[in-house]
Amino acid sequence: MSLGTVAITGAAGTIGSVVREALRHEATRLILLDRVPIRQETENEDTHTVDLRDAAAVEFAFTGADRVLHLGGVPDEAPLSDLLEANVLGTHHVLEAARRKGIERVVLASSNRVTGFYPAGHLSSPQEPVRPDGLYGVSKAAVEALGRLYADKFGLSVICLRIGSFEHVPAEPRHLATWLSPRDAVGYILAALAAPPSTRFATGYAVSDNTRRFWELPDPTELAYTPVDNAELHAADIPGTDLPVDPTAPQAGLYALPQFTLKHLRP
């Protein structure tokens, strides 16, 4: 199916840059938003320098869009006030602009960090309660809640992707469970954008088919993509991957340590 016109927030970011290139061949037109200037590279791209905190600017940029891929926001642990403003309020502006413009599908970039405190020996499902490993995870849990609200109350079709460790190749032992390759990231995003309108709301982990993964793969009836890459193929190149993993330790690893968040709290 044709994706029509797709708006991408955070288009200049790490994932946005990869997805932008792939979607050029799948969408009729791309509307690219970021808070930093973006250079137009093909005839079917329109670029907008937009701060997601500016609701009117977001709505104006979405003019003509059929689908939205929302990647913008603060991508890691930060003071809660910054996360609420960029991630939660920014997502609200994206969803509200989509509602007002009659856009049929919104794909929200969530994070595996919403469940980082489940133990490493547990295979997590998106049906389980959230257990965020920090303030960033809390903000992404709120992003998912906003998506659910707009699906239930206003009839938007919303899919939340809990992004794994997006890297060109896995670089540390934890990545053997959490790696999301660029190829699989594009596959999940294309599947989410193209899912039938009957998918009113869904949440799934976007992770490669790693032998040691912590998370269930998405239900194929909701997200028709099967990942193809496996971090295990890179294990020999990563120091420490032969050491045993404590099955009771948090899936988040170092992100779950108190000091990871304490430095972002008021002294």
Residues identified as active-site: 136
**Spatial separation of the C-alpha atoms in residues 228 and 35, rounded to whole Å:** 33
